Structure 1
């Protein structure tokens, strides 16, 4: 459990360098500002398939050069959001994982002991790296919660998992059932989004998305103060003594 009573440890599993910024940057800032420990794990830097502006804009660009820029972007963005960042550098497009990657992620889960985990939706035909990241995470989550895997480490207890919104949800069958009001931290998210030189076009996309999701969240909740929100899909159904 988190050392901060009432402030859960939050882990974000991001396939590429800045996926976490676009999809849940506001939520990261909300939890960080509230006193939670937030850790982001970048499985890759997106150096091959998500850095088109760099490949097109730098003469004779190299993969190492692109990775260096993406690392800098991810570090700057996570710092703005108030989160710790770890880069696992598994390589993207395609992201292909194996047993060693699963065990590495198991160790991360057990070391950090998150209570809330945010990750990719399980379907995305437009970018197979995203569901592959989700697939890797759920394999690691299962393994982290059974005692026979890495028995010298503390097993992971129950966690609440939420899958964040894909870039083009209409192609992915994504129907959110949870919204986080990020109105009060939208400026922080926008600041984090502006560090990207490799995916500048995403700024407008997710600024508009936040406003649209804010409209939906406001309608659903009746709270007219909600102007910006981020959308998520629960992995497991809600369980409690009463509806919440």
Structure 2
């Protein structure tokens, strides 16, 4: 928390709707609790994550695919209660350089988040995801350094969490944080349903939330937890007492 206020949350998403699958419930949870949540979409996923569109509509243009993906992301973010911004970098491959890092620095300093959610550092099945993770951590470092873009205000401490990859077994993903999304799972389901370009993921992430909910319930000794999302801390927990 920041001086008794609700923490602001910035979600940095490689592709248009990565945020829906990986942390849609957590977004809805924070937004419902009164936090300001902003999603930063780095690409529309127009090349590598829109196969259903390309296959069903031969001859469609890249710009049209982007429009469809943008509309899906906007509708999903509204359902979850979050703001959304689009940077429109190119995907597949997404290659980040100095100009991209500085744009992220500007976004971080503009929003001044207390919490950042982004991709895991490993994902051999989709290199765009760890590329965004690495860029995020570079930008977080630069955003706290006064000599980088000194005309803007540096950020304060930011708690950073990596959301679960699509196939965690390939990515050395071992979660150490579970967020109970049971009472907002209906919002996540609604957000998933507006994503017509990736229908194959709907069942995948419903079952994932059920499984993580089962684990979270066992860990917490709380049978009321039915759905959850999993995360990995970037930095160790620090406090005067265990929490």
The answer to whether TM tops 0.5 is yes
Partner of 1:134: 133
Structure 1 Cα separation of the partners of residues 46 and 157 of structure 2:
34
Partner of 1:160: 159
1:198 match: secondary structure? helix
Partner of 2:47: 48
Structure 2 Cα separation of the partners of residues 76 and 41 of structure 1:
15
Structure 2 Cα separation of the partners of residues 105 and 6 of structure 1:
24
Structure 1 Cα separation of the partners of residues 22 and 33 of structure 2:
19
Q: Which runs of 5+ in 1 are unaligned?
A: none
TM-score (norm 1): 0.98
Q: Which runs of 5+ in 2 are unaligned?
A: none
The CA deviation string for residues 64-101 of structure 1, in whole angstroms up to 9 with x for no partner, is 11000000000000000000000001010000111111
Structure 2 Cα separation of the partners of residues 43 and 242 of structure 1:
37
Structure 2 Cα separation of the partners of residues 231 and 6 of structure 1:
25
Shift of the alpha carbon at 1:2? 5.8
2:210 match: secondary structure? helix
1:56 match: secondary structure? helix
2:197 match: secondary structure? coil
Partner of 1:123: 122
TM-score (norm 2): 0.98
Structure 1 Cα separation of the partners of residues 92 and 187 of structure 2:
30
1:6 match: secondary structure? coil
Structure 2 Cα separation of the partners of residues 206 and 98 of structure 1:
32
After superposition, residues 55-134 of structure 1 pair within 5 angstroms as 55-134=54-133
Shift of the alpha carbon at 1:62? 1.2
2:55 match: secondary structure? helix
Structure 1 Cα separation of the partners of residues 182 and 44 of structure 2:
28
What count of residue pairs does the alignment treat as equivalent? 243
Structure 2 Cα separation of the partners of residues 182 and 128 of structure 1:
28
Structure 2 Cα separation of the partners of residues 223 and 161 of structure 1:
26
After superposition, residues 181-196 of structure 1 pair within 5 angstroms as 181-196=180-195
The CA deviation string for residues 184-218 of structure 1, in whole angstroms up to 9 with x for no partner, is 00000000000111100110000000000000000
After superposition, residues 211-230 of structure 1 pair within 5 angstroms as 211-230=210-229
C-alpha root-mean-square deviation of aligned residues, in Å?
1.0
Partner of 1:143: 142
1:233 match: secondary structure? strand
